Chains A and B, each alone.
Chain A
Amino acid sequence: MIGPAEIRRIIPHRYPVLLVDRVTAVEPGVRLVALKAVSGREPCYAAMPEDADHAYPIGLLLESWAQSAVLLARWDNPNPDVLADKVELITGIRDVAFPRPVYPGDVVEHHVELVRGLDDAAILAGHSTVGGVRVLEIGSFTMARRGVEVLRPATGVSA
């Protein structure tokens, strides 16, 4: 089992968008299980009206699963700093289901499997559960590795 410090040594994501708290199982190159605890104190809830449905945003849920996918892809080849290495970019995702919303207080367990790993790309799949109940299904998730130098915004665009 590894926690936040070790996770930061493997992937480049940092506060406030490091969305994996713990890795509980890993078979390098094959599969990984990670936990993400959702709290009502997360920044996404700051501006939410009090009577709004507090379902955890799907973008953050997907990003949390995706970071678990990068952890598996980078387990034996850590990438803690994108400026010193390449960056994983999502290129496609298919057949994703959200069977049940996630709420503050939930601990999401992400399951990631490597379907195919190439030098500069990987295809993964998996699902997530809360208390054993499925909250997310990922049919296919594709990511590519790119050097930051080829990704810089076009000339004249200031970041």
Chain B
Amino acid sequence: MTTVLIDGADPVFAGHYPGFPILPGVFVVEHVHSAVRDALPGLRVTALERAKFLRPVFPGDELTIETTLIDDADGVRCAAVVSCGADKVAEIRLRYSAGAP
């Protein structure tokens, strides 16, 4: 399990959006990727099989990322549930594969 504090001082919020700071939904995918990539040496992210975004993320939110890694013949699948307090923020399934880009 990983926790990520969404820092209100991050410059992203100046541009997304002026007067209404909200984290781009796909940045949650990046946070999940960052949480697991170091555990998967030699593999690179090759697919985002599915993501559901259930609640927006605001500056100051603390995200909890719970991941399950499943090895299969083609690589590793990462199933992640991202939440903020009692709210589920997103469900994300990434795939990692070996080999040259």
Contacts and interface: CB of A to CB of B under 8 A. Distances in A.
Interface of A: 12-18, 43, 55, 57-60, 62-63, 66, 81-83, 87, 89-101, 148, 151, 153, 157-159
A91 B44 contact: no
Contact of B46 (A90, A92, A97): A97
User: What are the 8 closest A-B residue pairs judged by CB atoms, nearest first?
Assistant: A59-B30, A14-B15, A96-B48, A90-B25, A62-B26, A17-B15, A153-B58, A82-B17
Contacts of A62: 26, 29, 48
Contacts of A95: 47, 49-50
Contacts of A97: 46-47
Nearest to B97: A98
Interface in B1-60: 8, 11-12, 14-22, 24-27, 29-31, 33, 44-53, 56, 58-60
Nearest to A97: B47
Interface residues of B, number: 35
Nearest to B94: A58
B11 A12 contact: no
B58 A157 contact: yes
Interface in B51-88: 51-53, 56, 58-60
A58 B22 contact: no
A127 B69 CA distance: 27
Given A15-B15, A17-B12, A151 B50 contact: no
A126 B33 CA distance: 22
